[in-house]
Structure 1
């Protein structure tokens, strides 16, 4: 391998500054720089990308109470405390109760109504997510018919009894079953007690007492919830339903609206539904950065096309007699999401490195336009790229020196070059002449 070939493979490339007076290149360059600068401002200040963030996790405790008499302190009492009285709306005034004399069919068909407390409405009692609230119940009295496998095949283990008793009759025409609505369930209050933490950032954690939040309504307004002395938020079920945005554009849901299940002719109160309560946490505010307190936002949605029910077994005389409660209602699923974070120097350095890369990419884009796209690309390439050949210790050769002459200039005119800049008189009016000579 000769010396010339060796020089080719071990050559060194460095950066050369060339100022090109071209309106197109200058405009593209400054537009790219402006775009990168705008992205940096939005990313660093608007989105706070310098923050080390984490997706929150947490726990939720849900509790329901029936409507109670308002005391001197301005809110209801605790029904688990002696002397606290319920304050139900009379079924005689509720249009979905037959006690009111209302009539209808399909989604507006009334049923007999019963007054239930929270221990009956909420089944199973788990105080977590998912949380179930009954709106319609079908009770069946059942009697044990067969539990001995030695007696042969059992057509039924339990059979539905007859005439509101626990006596089974194969030819019964009036089964011991009844269906009814739970009266005034919209007036029940729901207590939400929740806590949150960032699993990758141990210093970020808070309980309900340490946070404050709001309920977002489909009307565009924010509802500040009532709260207990320990910071738990309290809503009525009717208040929560009024904030839901429906698929057809309606704002708010009534339990007497048509069921969201395709093909059903019943109401939501009759079929039940699945509700999703999203709690979004954050301690990062756009344009302000990390905040000292965590805030949250509630948003409630309904899963269209769904119904919900649970079954409860109550033994009257074990194991011979039992009552089966088929309970349709609202199943509430809670999802905790959001963004929690702290200022982090390492994250900031990564963002600054990305910023420098974007500026370099913008410059590279303009260089590509100058060297390979625009009409005077040959002149721009000669001005930007020079090849220096080292022949010996005493001899250095420029392989491609620029000698540019405008077409209209005299032959002895030299190139228009000033202080390291290349000026192109007659740019766009024609092409120039080039000469590559050794010096």
Structure 2
């Protein structure tokens, strides 16, 4: 990598607030990943049920339906303050699991209840991050900043996959949760170190009428705005499709794949999860270095490549080959999801960004739906047939989306392809 490319990639760190947000997001993402891996393995081992595993994974996303409400709160009170409050809440919930585990009272039911509570809050974290980034970053640095921000999730998946399994084996779930709670607490404190963005949130607070009607009107305004432009509609459709048919295969179902398909333990699960994350990190870094890409075209091409890799992955029965396939799938996934986020953030009005990104998070509800359906289908027709059905349906649907909005996504000079 040339010195000029390195300087260009690190340019967002010239912004003081970004230097605090990035490590805060990194620590939060690390805690998310370790927590998901550890609890997923705990549920699989304690219950032995793939259906309960998919229910556990689905509970983490119950809050997607209220994500626009969190976006609206962020638009009113400030995205920085909302993120800090959310991360203090994660700390309290992690401390609860830590206490139950250390005192010997942890049980699958307790885990499910706490995960359901966290699932009301956690899905909105990523959307509020994006809205805060748009507040603090100049427009010309937004793609690079979002790509670098994405590396916090990708590196966390690697760290969580490789260290989570080892820590669980060596320390046990109680002491692993000591580390998780500390990560959340540090992330919350770092978020408080950000200066409040100079942009005013007052435009949201001027709604007339009773407080209840004003809140509903503000929420409706954000949802309508998110669905107003063809570029945004296409990006939201791709995000929903990916969560419904692609992410279940490499997210909630990986503990099942590791245990039942590759007959490996939590270390093997860590390798599989890390492979997907390594590919995703490569994709994020690549986009942070490359300038001037037609983002909407990239969205189409990367999503199609992602589904093609998944069609191969579900038929593989050799760990090294599966890991290589997951690396390629991770690269395509990263480029696809970053492209969708950039289209939404660029297009959204400044005072509505929180609600628009909340709608973006709301479409993640496709993931628990996909997971629950997959859990039942695997029991009926097996993993390979289910995976092929999901990836094939996703590939066909993506082609349909590209054709439906071709005039808005494919021309180089279309607004969605703005450089």
What TM bracket, shorter-length normalisation?
under 0.3
TM-score, normalisation: structure 2: 0.23
- What TM-score comes out, normalization by structure 1 length? 0.23
Q: Which gives a bigger RCO, structure 1 or 2 (Cα 8 Å, sep 6+)? A: 2
